[in-house]
Chains A and B, each alone.
Chain A
């Protein structure tokens, strides 16, 4: 089954404690992306990757890092989380530049206290 898998689904952490949210896709997609979703603000892109070892900033990259060492994995790293990073996070992948569906992971609800 084609899918994007994120882990964990829920995470409560404390300010400053480094964390990683994993994202994996089994569709051999070149393109992967991270979004955050806050109430009333829709989907805001954090980082994206066009292929292995190729990453670029989205609209809200401050406070986040990503890596793309393998095609299937695209982890999101918060080196020093702060309360304003409390949000719902989605990973997505897309496989064909000539216009096809983006597949989303289940989402990770992060709370930073």
Chain B
């Protein structure tokens, strides 16, 4: 079955710098790749997603890139701010399968 690996487990960056979190997946049939943000004590919430027919998607300071050949996708956050501090999860799913396969999460720390 599908397996999603996420790296790094913890990422500490200076405020204003960029952050990149990477995920790899095993099932080449996967075609939907969302990213969720979970603030401390809160529920995970979708921040951006990408489908396999697109290579990159941007929404203000966040972007996601997908490399189908290498089977990996990445979350990019530019000009990081204190409110970006959170745990970020990637996931993958395919076709008619409702199941989302989750990465282990990355704790992003923004240093002032």
Which of A's residues lie within 8 Å of B, judged by CB? 30-31, 41-43, 48, 50, 90, 94, 97-99, 101-102, 104-107
Contact = CB atoms under 8 A, between A and B. Distances in A.
A101 B89 contact: no
Given A97-B95, A97-B96, A99-B51, 12 more contacts: A30-B98, A41-B104, A42-B104, A43-B102, A90-B44, A94-B98, A97-B98, A98-B96, A99-B49, A101-B46, A102-B100, A104-B44
Nearest to B97: A97
Given A31-B98, A94-B100, A43 B46 contact: no
Contact count band on B: 20 to 34
A99 B51 CA distance: 8
Contact of A99 (B32, B36, B42, B89): B32
Nearest to B52: A99
A42 B32 contact: no
Contacts of A31: 98
Nearest to B50: A99
13 contacts: A41-B104, A42-B103, A42-B104, A43-B44, A43-B89, A48-B99, A97-B95, A97-B97, A99-B31, A101-B49, A102-B46, A104-B43, A105-B43
A96 to B, nearest CB: 9
Interface string B84-103: 00000100010111111011
A94 B100 CA distance: 10
A48 B49 CA distance: 22
A10 to B, nearest CB: 11
Contact of A50 (B34, B36, B44, B98): B98
